[in-house]
Each structure stands twice: as structure tokens, then as C-alpha cells.
Structure 1
Amino acid sequence: MDKDITETTFNQLLVSINFDLFSKIVTELELDKYTKKLTTKKLFKILLYGQLESVSSLDSLSIDVSNKSALEKEIKLDSISASQLSRRLRDIPPVIFEKIFNQIKLEALAKRGSNFYRNNLGQLNIIDASTVSMALSNYPWADFRSTKAGIKIHTRIVYDGDIMPDKVEITPAKGADKTKMDNLIVQDTDTLHVFDRAYVDYQGFDNYCDAGILFLSRLKSNAKIKVLKTKTVIIDGQEVKDSIVLLGDKKQDKQMDNILRILEIPDRENPGSTVRLITNDFEHSAALISRYYRDRWQIEIFFKWIKQHLHVKVFYGHSENAVKSQIFTALISFVLLTLLKREANTDKSLFKVLKYFRACKFESLKAFIRKINRPPSRTSKGRRVIDYEKIYQLTERQVMAGETELLYSTEFNPVIL
């Protein structure tokens, strides 16, 4: 990322985006053929600004563009109406934003360094879907339930201590999560795929075993199991059963062909209950397998983050194009923030990076980096631990020595020793 201080942080945030690719897609799809003012590139920058600032509506975006001179300068647009923004969002296919997301996340993944996950595993992919409910009257295309509409954001993230969205498919919410499973699996024998019980599919498991694809999930409570071999290991002071099994019911011709491994781990949150993890990873220790499954919650953190800190819960338009374009713009914003965090070489949280960006977006990148890494002006000594026994002993000695006048003083503070 260029550190030219003549450029604003907002401008430098966009340096990682391949605008040559962007322009090529615009030309191929003829997106700007009849457009003079609000080009696709300008719309994209406005949408990115809306995500990063969590702007609530197209009206608010229109007001910001028309009244914030620094934003006008960045976008090279002095005014635009909400209706013009709405029409362009409705008409532009989201594929252009999806392709830019794929380009930018590949760059981000290529810049990762060595860490625990890459050294011990190769790559950890976590798969899940998040549902966003919507009003049926406004989004009739998003089939969900009889009284409401909704979409599912089927997602694969790469987790290596940091979260990176890797693949996303957006569909109407109606339908099982596992129907999109094969699209989210990577054909890579060094990658472990972690997912929850909604994706359990015995035939799919057999296919993954045959292809050498590693997976880890939680087993449903009603699963039929044939134990072939078992041993007991200790993880964090708890006894864990580590077994080789066949899944399924042979009588109903639903038994798997491949053997799997089950870890039965006592549930600390529900005493007496057991968490059963199912995997075809026979190489890594039970302790590592358990750790990798706990990391599954990182994708829940990701969903919560983009919904809380970007603008994904409320949409700027009602069309399928508008909704998908907004989601992919949010994903691009997330990846750009992770790149900005690396550029600043800061250990602050991504939310802190976002807050500093909002404060410094029209200042130079050098100023942003200086401010986010500036040491705090005040240093807290932390919460003091009061030694009541020591206070009592000191007070007792004073009383025994006849030094009692200070005890009645309004300035007496026995905590100051």
C-alpha cells in the first residue's frame, strides 16, 4: 500500500483494489454505456464510504456527498440524488463487486505470515451461513417463510489467528445449509474444514474421504455409531474418549464406507453432557482437534462484526442486485480494513482500526498511522488491590501507641500506605 502522504487514508485504502480489472468488467458488461455522471466506479466509492461510515440510507449518502467537500473531492462528484443512487444499485449486476472481493481477498491471503495454524495444519477453513430476515412485501424474491423474506449468506472464512472471508454465496433463506456445502469445500488435502451439525451428510462425508478432503464437525445426538476401537486421552484435565468408528445404520443401507474418528469431550457448560466431534483427521492430536473445533466460533464473530460495525442489517435497495451488491461491498470493506491494519503494523482490534479510519479518513495515511500507534497520554496503574490486613495492623499499632487523633481527621485515608 502506497504511503504517499499527499493522498488521504481513504484514497490509500483503495490502492489494493485492481481498478484495471474493475474497468475491464465495466466495459465488458457495458455498465457505463449510457452513464455520464454516476459511473460505476463513483457508485462503488460511495458504497464503500457508506459501509465504512455505517451510513443508514441513500438519503443520508446523498446528503454527505453534497455537503462534505472532502468526500466530494475523493469521489469527484459534487452532488447526487438518492433516486439516482437507487436506480444504479438496481441496475448494476453484483458480479462486479463479487469479482473485486475475490481479487482483494486473494491479495490479503497472499500477505499472511507464518503462524501456529499454518505451521501445524496448513489451513483452517470454517464454514457456516447467516440468515438476514427482511419484510416480504419489500423483498418478494427472497423466499423464506410464509410471513417474511430472508437471505442466507453462505460463507467460508480462513482463520489463522485473524479472520479472512474467502468465499461467499448469497441465496434466498429457504433451503438447507448443506445444499451449498460442496461449493464451499476446497479441494486441498492440507486444509481442514470445520462446520456445525447443519452440514452433516454421510454421503458427502464418504465423498470427502475418498477425495482426501479433511473435515471436522459436531455429531447429531441421534447418530448411529459402530465403535471399532477406542482409547482415553486427557485434555485440559478431562478424560476424552478417542474412537475409530463407522457411522450410519447398515440395516437401512445408510452406513458409511469410510471409517471416521470421534472425540467425546465432557461439556463444561452442561455437566453430565458430552460434545461429540466427528472427523476424518487421524493425524493431529485430540487436543489440537478440540482446539480447531472451538475456533468454529470465529465465523460467528465475523457475522456479528459485519452486522454491527458495517451496514448489512438494513439495505439501501429492495432488488436482488442492490442487496447482493451491498453485501459484497461490506465484505470488500472488511478485507480493506484488515490490510490497513497490517499497513499500520498495529495490534489494535479491527474495530479500533475502523474507529481511527473514521476519524482520519481525509487525513494522510502517515497521519493515520502515527495516531493509531500513538502511546496513550495516561497510563493506568490498574486496579489497586487493598491489603486490608496490613491496614488493620498499622491502625492497631497507632492505637496502641496512642496516636488516635488522626483517626478522627476528615483527611485520614487508611488506604494510603
Structure 2
Amino acid sequence: MDNHTIKTVFKEYIHPLDSKVIQKMLDHAQIDKYVKKLDVLTFMNTFIYAQLKQLDNLQRISDTIKRKKTVQRLVGIESISKSQLSRKNGDIPSEIFQVILHHLIQKLHHILGPKTAGKALGKLHLIDSSTISMCLSQYEWADFRDTKSGVKMHTSITFCEGISYPNEVILTPARPADETQLDSLIVLDKNVLHVFDRGYFNFKKFDTYCAEGIRFVTRIKTNTVVHVIEELPIDSSSPITRHAVVKIGKMKNPLQLVETVDSKGNQIRIVCNDAKVSAQEMSDLYRNRWQIELFFKWVKQHMVIKKLYGKSENAVYNQIYLAMISFCLTLLMKNKIGYKGTLLEMLRWIRDFCSHSITTLISKVFKEPERSSRGRRRLDHEKVFQVTVAQYELGDVLLLDDLTYDPII
């Protein structure tokens, strides 16, 4: 078996993309009709490799392909210039990679969904947005503030048993308010409980969700008018200071209200439209909202999205979608080989063994420790004492005058 037929880690990594299905979609849309060299699949493989290796500019990508034969075999192209990469990145409609990302998200739901089924509170979807700031003079299309531009990632993630994976990602210029995308991030499933912050506060939407059986937990603003319907008892030993049934603002439907304090001692008020959720569960659920902040932090630190490859809207959106695609592929690989470490550790394994065979990666990941020593052992002082006493009783006392270090154990 030669190097061209060995199933490499990178080939196994991109396998969930289903290249045949993607090619049919591209053929139907006639995306690569007149392309001879850098088609969409090759472009996608190239930029996924760049995400893995954290190649943060087009020149580095071009140079890496040109110098390394192994990389050429992995991505399927022998050489490509910086300008060609730039043109292709700006020309491919970002909707293509958005569809591919949704395809991977469905795979994650299919694989990880059954593992989260049967939980007491059902599926937990966390909703928030994160802004990537950019230079105003170079990205005028990305309206944000008077002094800078930006792109906002409106995201919902599924979180259960310590695992976070995206459910929806919507990219827009940073100017529109978060609540404009809330309906698109909501899942029409009565088993799903949505958790979001005050940026998505809208009385009319909340009433609609109550009428449609969509469950949610959110934090209310400090100036929100609260009409108390009934005060409920609380456990004096818990951090919850108040539990009540209320109506807020202009809402017609009642909600549960819980008042508690955060880690800094500041009061927070949380509402939920599910009467079956206890006060303590409401508090715990809202605290889980921090997991989506950790998700954004992880993606920004370990995927290439802070330094942008291009300046057009298509180029920026393509890069972010490809980063999210790489995140999903990493999680799918971790699940496939049954790796129990962190997602970052899995990413590093893939990054280091990208051009090696998949069997090599698995053997390294699950290799038994070579060390056979039992480690540093404590001296059994009681045993030493008993042996010394026995020697003394037998008359063997010369050792007591010997200063040579010769431990019994």
C-alpha cells in the first residue's frame, strides 16, 4: 500500500462533508461550470487545512502548498497563488458554506442527540451573539459604529452533559440589534428550552412564544415593570431570595420570576414561561448561559477568524462559516474515535498528525503509558521500626552503630 492509498487523518477528518453530495449541489447551481483548477471542493479542503494549521493569511497558505508535497496530496492541488485564493474566496457565494455547515449540524444532532435525550429538562439551547470588530475604512459594508465596522455571529448552541455544539449560525453586519434574529434562532420544539440574555428582550415575541408552547428562560432588565400575581415560598438555605408568578411589561401571559445574586453579589432577575421548572432549576439554567460565551471564546482562540483573508462580504462570511465547519468536523472526529479528552486536545492531535494514517493517530491517542514504575513510594516507618526491634531482640545490634545508609525497604 503506497502513500496515495493510505487513509490519512485529514481525509478521515473531512469525510463527513460528503463530497459527492456537495458536488451534486454545485453542479445543480453551476458554480464550477467553467473552473479548471480551483473548484469549490478544492478551495474548501485548502481552507479547512488552513484552519487546522492556523495559517492566518493567504500568502502563508500559498507558500505552504507550494513547498510541501504532503499538503498538495491532502488538499488536491499542486500550487496556487495568493491572488487566485483571494478571487475565489470573494466569488463563492457564502450560502454554499452555510448549507454545508447546516449539513454537518444535522449530523451532530443525529449522533449526539440520542445521548442528550431523556434528560429531565429536555434539550437546552443557548442563544447569544458575538461581534468580530474590523477596520471601518476597509469594511464599509459591515455597518457597526461611527469608528469601526463589525460582523455579528448570531448563534444558538445545544448544551448537555458538558458538550456544546452549534445549532444555528447567522451572520450579519454588527449594527442590527440581537432581537432581530431571535425568531430565526428559536427551535419549534416543545422539548427544547431556550436560554438567552437581555439583548433579546421583546414582550410581543415572548407572548407569541408562550402561545406556541416555546419554552424560554431569560433575564429581565432593571427598568422592567413587574406585576406580581402570587408570591411563592422559597428555601431559606438556597441563594434564591424571591420566587413569584408575575406579568412583566405589556405581556398577557404569566411567567415565573426568580431573584438571586451572581458571583459578585449583584441581584439578577430571571423569568421562565414553563411552570414545571423549579426556582433552583431556573437559576441553574441561566447560569449555564455562560457556556455559549466559552464557545465563542474557544472558536476565536483556536479557529482563524480574527485575521481575515479578504475584505468583501462573501470573503468574510466564507471564512467564518469554514471556521465553524472545522469546529463541527473536529467534534465529529472526537466522537468517531471515542476520544475522552477535551476538544482542544483532539484538535491538537489532528493538527499534529494531519498527513499521517488514521491508524497511526488512533495508536498514538490510545497508547498505553510506557512507564512501569509504581512511582515514588513512601517509606513504611512502622515496618522499619518492627524489623529493627526484632533484630535487637535477637542480639543483632551492631547495625545500630553503623552510619552507612542502607534502608531496609
Matches of 1:383 and 1:299 in 2, distance apart? 42
Instruction: State the one-letter code of the partner of 1:33.
Output: K
1:232 Cα deviation (Å)?
A: 3.0
Matches of 2:346 and 2:202 in 1, distance apart? 40
Matches of 2:357 and 2:310 in 1, distance apart? 33
1:26 Cα deviation (Å)?
A: 1.5
Mapping for residues 248-287 of structure 1, pairs under 5 Å = 248=249, 255-267=250-262, 269-271=263-265, 273-287=266-280
Q: TM-score, normalised by structure 2?
A: 0.87
Matches of 1:185 and 1:82 in 2, distance apart? 40
SS in 1 for 2:83: helix
Identify if the C-alpha distance between structure 1 residues 275 and 39 changes in structure 2 by more than 3 Å, giving closer, same or farther.
Answer: same
> Is 1:261–1:282's contact at 8 Å kept on the other side of the alignment?
yes
Find the counterpart in structure 2 of residue 204 from structure 1.
205
Mapping for residues 290-369 of structure 1, pairs under 5 Å = 290-369=283-362
Q: TM-score, normalised by structure 1?
A: 0.86
Mapping for residues 116-265 of structure 1, pairs under 5 Å = 118-161=118-161, 162-234=163-235, 237-248=238-249, 255-265=250-260
Matches of 2:317 and 2:198 in 1, distance apart? 27
Query: Which sections of structure 1, spanning at least 5 residues, go unmatched?
Result: 249-254, 391-402, 412-416
Matches of 2:328 and 2:135 in 1, distance apart? 29
SS in 2 for 1:112: helix
> Is 1:143–1:149's contact at 8 Å kept on the other side of the alignment?
yes
- Percent identity (aligned): 38
How many positions carry a matched residue from both structures?
382
Matches of 1:148 and 1:366 in 2, distance apart? 48
1:276-321, Cα deviation, whole Å (9 max, x unpaired): 1111011122222222211111111111111100101111111111
Q: Which moved more, 1:279-288 or 1:89-98?
A: 279-288
Matches of 1:85 and 1:27 in 2, distance apart? 21
Find the counterpart in structure 2 of residue 371 from structure 1.
364
Query: Which sections of structure 2, spanning at least 5 residues, go unmatched?
Result: 382-399
Identify if the C-alpha distance between structure 1 residues 262 and 14 changes in structure 2 by more than 3 Å, giving closer, same or farther.
Answer: same
1:115 Cα deviation (Å)?
A: 4.9
1:199-235, Cα deviation, whole Å (9 max, x unpaired): 1111111111011100101111111111111223338
Find the counterpart in structure 1 of residue 31 from structure 2.
31
Mapping for residues 50-65 of structure 1, pairs under 5 Å = 50-65=50-65
Find the counterpart in structure 1 of residue 87 from structure 2.
87
Matches of 1:149 and 1:68 in 2, distance apart? 37
1:28 Cα deviation (Å)?
A: 2.6
Identify if the C-alpha distance between structure 1 residues 379 and 311 changes in structure 2 by more than 3 Å, giving closer, same or farther.
Answer: farther
| 1:44 paired to 2:37 | no
> Is 1:118–1:160's contact at 8 Å kept on the other side of the alignment?
no
1:236 Cα deviation (Å)?
A: 6.8
C-alpha RMSD of matched pairs (Å): 2.6
1:6-47, Cα deviation, whole Å (9 max, x unpaired): 200100111111222311221133221221111111001001
Q: Which moved more, 1:360-369 or 1:332-341?
A: 360-369
Matches of 1:239 and 1:75 in 2, distance apart? 55
